[in-house]
Amino acid sequence: MTAELTVAPLAELRLRTSVKWRNYPEDVLPLFVAEMDYDLAPPVATALHAAISRSDTGYAPASAELGKAYAGFASRRWGWEVDPAQVTSVTDVGVGVIEVLRQRVRLGDVVAISPPVYPPFFDWAPEASARLLSVPLVAGRLDLPAIERAFATHPAAYVLSNPHNPVGRVHTFDELGALVRLARLYGVLLISDEIHAPLVLPGAVFTPLLSVPGAAEVAVAVVSASKAFNLAGLKCAAIVTASDRTAALVARMPAEVHERTGHLGVVASIAAFSSGDSWLDDLIFSLAARRDQLADLLATRLPAVRWTPPEATYLSWLDCSAWGGDGVPAARFLAEGRVAVEPGTRFGAAGAGFVRLNFATSPEILDEAVSRLAGVPTVEAG
């Protein structure tokens, strides 16, 4: 039986010291960064408490346990059979993508991405000394003809958000199959950021990129428990490969890359992947309820917002151009409504007039946030 997760009262949430709770003054409702307001999953909390009580806060050992736990999770959740030996821990998803790019990119190479997309995607390629090529989404979907034109210029790699942050789209098996065919045809390495994969909501089906026929030789995935189990500060993710060719990229990385993983992150991730299923089911149930609630609230109190409810994640991508262009809606929501959301422009030029709102919170906070936004006049009304 699934049940909704509860959220602590606001005064208790404000005792948290992460960026979500410390970036803005106390009168601001923080619905910007991708952190959730739910309590930790009990198996994760238990594993962390046990580690703390052992004073077990040293370096992460090289261990097969994380790979085994992830392989079990992938098999149960998506029927995807992962070789635990091809799961390699890294500090976080960003580090995983950058280190794969470093093995692949030669000076001056190009790396393609599809905005609007998670803002660090714009920084990862330059950090690995590559130039960026944008192949924007069209109506929230991969633009496969444009991706083919881009791949024909032979970029070194394409970084995919699967599912896609911020639009919440779950790319279909057919879309990913087409992407794999293009990658094989033009010799482009696919790097699939699958951090949001455990957060696919009812109505959509997640396809792990590496499970697509032909993907193993041309793709790597970077995965983590950190988004679904709210563990971002613990610093643990993993690179997953499924062929000798892509495993060779990982084998060439300096050992330090793996040794920089947070030990408590590994402890928590093993607990999440091996014992977190029923809590995760409750989380998905709760997020689906918040998505429905947000749909009702927007329809009744903020009809000037246009959006497509996300198929995955707890992030909603809202066209708020009725409140102004560029980054103006987010700035006005903060200044006039005391609600912090991400300005769409952080996700690329296509985000002008959009905001990204995080709904992984209580019904009360979500209600209050929308009420506050409803008090900010649209440009026409003002």
Ligand X SMILES: Cc1ncc(COP(=O)(O)O)c(C=O)c1O
In whole angstroms, how close is the CB of 53 to ligand X at the nearest point? Answer: 27
Q: Which is nearer to ligand X, 99 or 193 (CB)?
A: 193
Q: Which is nearer to ligand X, 82 or 93 (CB)?
A: 93
- Which of 86, 88, 89, 165 contacts ligand X by CB under 6 A? 165
Is 347 an interacting residue with respect to ligand X (CB under 6 A)?
A: no
In whole angstroms, how close is the CB of 154 to ligand X at the nearest point? Answer: 25
Is 94 an interacting residue with respect to ligand X (CB under 6 A)?
A: yes
| 376 within 8 A of 328, measured Cβ to Cβ | no
- Which of 5, 7, 31, 34 contacts ligand X by CB under 6 A? 34
40-79 footprint of ligand X as x/- string (CB under 6 A): ----------------------------------------
| 111 within 8 A of 150, measured Cβ to Cβ | no
Only one residue has tokens 């995607």, namely 121
In whole angstroms, how close is the CB of 375 to ligand X at the nearest point? Answer: 29
Is 161 an interacting residue with respect to ligand X (CB under 6 A)?
A: yes
- Which of 92, 99, 175, 311 contacts ligand X by CB under 6 A? 92
Task: Report CA dihedral (4, 312, 80, 119) to the nearest 10 degrees.
Answer: -130
Is 286 an interacting residue with respect to ligand X (CB under 6 A)?
A: no
# residues near ligand X by CB under 6 A: 15
CA 264 from chain centre, in angstroms, equals 20
Is 93 an interacting residue with respect to ligand X (CB under 6 A)?
A: yes
Q: Which is nearer to ligand X, 150 or 237 (CB)?
A: 237
| 201 within 8 A of 230, measured Cβ to Cβ | no
- Residues ≥6 apart with Cβ < 8 Å to 319: 305, 306, 307, 353, 354
Is 224 an interacting residue with respect to ligand X (CB under 6 A)?
A: yes
Is 199 an interacting residue with respect to ligand X (CB under 6 A)?
A: no
- Quickly list DSSP for 20-65: HHHSS-TTSEE--SS---BPPPHHHHHHHHHHHHTT--SPPPP-SH
- Residues ≥6 apart with Cβ < 8 Å to 274: 43, 69, 72, 73
Q: Which is nearer to ligand X, 155 or 262 (CB)?
A: 262
The residue of the chain with the least Cβ separation from ligand X equals 92
In whole angstroms, how close is the CB of 44 to ligand X at the nearest point? Answer: 16
214: left (phi over 0), alpha (psi -120 to 50) or beta: left
- Which of 32, 118, 151, 323 contacts ligand X by CB under 6 A? 118
Binding piece for ligand X, criterion CB under 6 A, among 74-82, 179-187, 189-197, 266-274: 189-197
**Alpha helix stretches (DSSP H) within the chain:** 10-13, 19-22, 42-53, 65-78, 93-104, 121-127, 144-151, 173-186, 244-251, 255-259, 263-275, 277-301, 328-337, 363-374
Name the residues that contact ligand X, by CB under 6 A: 34, 92-94, 118, 161, 165, 193, 195-196, 224, 226-227, 232, 237
